[in-house]
Amino acid sequence: MASSIICKPFLRATKPNSSLSPDLQRLHFPSLRISIKPRTHKKLQIQAAGSTFGNYFRVTTFGESNGGGVGCIVDGCPPRIPLSEADLQGDLDRRRPGQSRVTTPRKETDTCRIYSGVSEGVTTGTPIHVLVPNTDHREQDYKEMSIAYRPSHADATYDMKYGVRAVQGGGRSSARETIGRVASGAIAKKILKQLSGTEVLAYVSQVQQVLLPDGSVDHDTVTLDQIESNIVRCPNPEYAEKMIAAIDAVRIRGDSVGGVVTCIVRNAPRGLGSPVFDKLEAELAKAVMSVPASKGFELGSGFSGAFLTGSEHNDEFYTDEHGRIRTRTNRSGGIQGGISNGEIINMRVAFKPTPAISRKQHTVTREKKEIELLVHGRHDPCVAPRAVPVVEAMVALVLVDQLMAQYAQCNLFPINAELQEPLSLGFPN
């Protein structure tokens, strides 16, 4: 509550108020009113952290692995885009469990429903709410998790951070959370395709020691059908069989293996990304490294570029038959100075072996007692095949967010046609 100090008229004042500071005592003028507000402490406000991604195209995922369901809220989606559950279901089907022997046997249809943000078949510009119910969860498989920490899982760190956690299925740390990413990513893909013909495709390029040789997949022509032609999602049939065999070998032993997912972006608009802290590769790295089990990220030449000289690594420029500036090589991975240059963006994401294995492991309980733990439940012997649509989704979310930022800053007014291209135009096929 504010307090007021009223100074008496000067001629009748006998002496200044001794309770005031010397500076205020000198301010004794007739009818002078000084209001002094007591110092108050501002309340610190902390927003809910960790479940929202993006600046302009904002996605919030929600739900736990063994709760009632999972899904997402998409805010900032442009209006008047044709959209239905069928547009999302295709990618959700690619992500869902129980597809083959190299994935978890959990049976979920992962059928989505849109509850808001779409009217008469088009987006309204308001938040889009997508929900996928959980139907095949088994709480009895997770009794051990309530007392002991699974090695290399988030069980211990969730307790260290929050002091409480959802035990069944790993809660928010479960890969089932990625359903919201894939659903929102499908919307982002549709926007990219409609606006500039941009395609985001990912495939498995390594499983344990089985590695696709450089150049064995043509990034200019590889198709979704080729990627989806086998259960490991490798577009090279010969190496796909080798990868499946490597997964089978550890699966029957109750163990798991890691892998690498390669993701490409064709017809990426030029100019996406910003200098310094918001470079496009930095945004992509954050996005894909937020995917469960991801452990490494490379763009273009990646770590192999450290073995080259500048003359070997540089991408020389030329002008193509359409009068556009291109690069003869693409060791930069389609991004230079943190900004897309219109070439194919290519990146690789490394995934660790699934930590949930059907073998006894040493661990500790919540009471810090050392024990042996045998993990029950249903888990992927290799996460890479099912991570493919998740990586695609996160890359698409970054590109749409950056596309909206680019339009707002650099394309709101007429562009410099000699140097810039309209965002609605990509490279010709």
The alpha carbon of residue 269 and the mean position of all alpha carbons in its chain are separated, in whole angstroms, by: 20
Question: How many Å from the N-terminal Cα to the C-terminal Cα in the chain?
Answer: 69
pLDDT at 376 over 80: no
> In terms of Cα–Cα distance, which of 183, 140, 101, 182 is closest to 379?
101
Rounded to the nearest angstrom, the gap between the alpha carbon of residue 38 and the centroid of all alpha carbons in its chain is 46
Express the helix, strand and coil content of the chain in percent, nearest 5 each.
Answer: 30, 20, 50
pLDDT digits (tens, 9 = 90+) for 72-98: 999 999 999 999 999 999 999 999 876
pLDDT band at 48, cuts 50/70/90?
Answer: low
The model's pLDDT over 122-172, given as tens digits with 9 standing for 90+, comes to 999 999 999 999 887 666 656 666 778 889 988 899 889 988 887 766 778
Per-domain boundaries in the chain: 52-411
* CA distance linking residue 426 with residue 397, whole number of Å: 18
What is the Cα–Cα distance from 256 to 249, expressed in whole angstroms?
9
388 has pLDDT over 50? yes
| 17 vs 378, higher pLDDT | 378
The better pLDDT of the pair 282, 156 is held by 282
Helix axes 384-410, 280-289, angle to 10 degrees: 150
216-220: long-range pairs with CB below 8 Å, 24+: 217/262, 219/264, 219/266, 219/344, 219/346, 220/266, 220/344
- Distance (Å, rounded) from C-alpha 331 to C-alpha 347? 11
* DSSP structure class, residue 38: P
Calpha distance 322→319 (Å, rounded): 8
- The answer on pLDDT for 42 being more than 80 is no
Strands (E) across 267-396 are located at 294-299, 317-319, 325-327, 335-336, 339-340, 345-351, 361-364, 370-373
The pLDDT of residue 135 is: 83
Determine the distance from the C-alpha atom of residue 237 to the mean position of all C-alpha atoms in its chain, rounded to a whole number: 29
Give the three-class secondary structure for 229. coil
The pLDDT value recorded for residue 140 is 60
- Cite the beta strand spans of 238-313 per DSSP E: 259-266, 294-299
Residue of 286, 391, 397, 301 lying closest to 349 (CA atoms): 391
How high is the mean pLDDT of the chain? 87
Cβ distance 259 to 239 under 8 Å?
no
How many C-beta atoms lie closer than 10 Å to residue 275's C-beta? 9
* 122 DSSP β-pair partners: 82, 119
Residues 222-238 have pLDDT tens digits of 999 999 999 999 999 99
Q: Looking at the predicted structure, is the pLDDT value of residue 107 above 80?
A: no
> Would you say how long the chain is, in residues?
429
Distance CA 12, CA 382 (A): 90
Give 429 or 421, the one with higher predicted confidence.
421
pLDDT reading at 35 higher than 50: yes
Residue 347 CA to residue 281 CA, distance in Å, equals: 9
Residue 85 class from Cβ within 10 Å (0-12 exposed, 13-18 middle, 19+ buried)?
middle
Neighbours of 244 (CB within 10 A): 21
CATH topology of domain 52-411: Chorismate synthase, AroC fold (3.60.150)
State the Cα–Cα distance between residues 358 and 355, nearest whole angstrom: 10
